[in-house]
Chain A
Amino acid sequence: KQEVTQIPAALSVPEGENLVLNCSFTDSAIYNLQWFRQDPGKGLTSLLLIQSSQREQTSGRLNASLDKSSGRSTLYIAASQPGDSATYLCAPGGSGSARQLTFGSGTQLTVLP
């Protein structure tokens, strides 16, 4: 059974800092890995999807890396802004036909102006 851990659980940084969010998972037989953002009272928004054959994926100020063999992924946010404040969740997708996602509990990020 896949287990996903996200560290830290909460993070508070001043505006402008570069930061790294960590995700580890126990079963390396994954199809892909997705990073999501969740604002309070809202659903999840997909940020990045990395296929198992890829090492990283970039979108704007966001860069996600994947080391499948060691069961780790990181989300790098450059030049953080107050609007980046949200909870960030990672979810590896299983290698079975259902590609089921298993979510971590997330990292709650606060960017202070």
Chain B
Amino acid sequence: EAGVAQSPRYKIIEKRQSVAFWCNPISGHATLYWYQQILGQGPKLLIQFQNNGVVDDSQLPKDRFSAERLKGVDSTLKIQPAKLEDSAVYLCASSSPPGNTIYFGEGSWLTVV
């Protein structure tokens, strides 16, 4: 069974530029999560989807971050414009249903300079 796929693995951008991350969850998993992990901290949930609907985006900085999950399968997380403090690992995860074991991708590492 294929795991959660993420791309790109690494990205370096200048502040005020934009970046997009892509995630393909495990086949059949209706729940998809995007987490932000800053070095030395645990992951923080940015947004949770159930199929193509948003369940929780209370911690998503909506002035600069956006996410979509078209057709209830893969998802894109966008940051525009990026700030220095957005430097982090962006982890995508999936589960079925919510509350079951969560499977994480290897993450997309973002450095904003």
Contacts and interface: CB of A to CB of B under 8 A. Distances in A.
Contacts of A34: 101-102
Contacts of B103: 46
Interface stretch (A64-72, A78-86, A91-99): A91-99
For this complex, into which size category does the number of interface residues on chain B fall?
Answer: 20 to 34
Contacts of A93: 99
Interface of A: 4, 31-32, 34, 36, 41-46, 49, 89, 91, 93, 97-101, 103-106
Interface string B80-113: 0000000000010100001111111111000000
B48 interface: yes
Nearest to B91: A43
A97 B55 CA distance: 9
B42 A100 contact: no
Given A98-B55, A100-B48, A103-B43, A46 B101 contact: yes
A45 B3 CA distance: 11
Interface string B1-39: 000100000000000000000000000000000000000
Contact of B104 (A31, A45, A104): A45
Nearest to A99: B99
A1 to B, nearest CB: 11
Closest 6 CB pairs of A and B: A103-B42, A99-B99, A43-B104, A99-B98, A44-B104, A43-B106
A31 B4 CA distance: 24
Nearest to B48: A98
Nearest to A45: B104
14 contacts: A34-B101, A42-B106, A43-B91, A44-B43, A44-B102, A44-B104, A49-B100, A49-B101, A89-B42, A97-B98, A98-B55, A98-B98, A99-B98, A104-B42
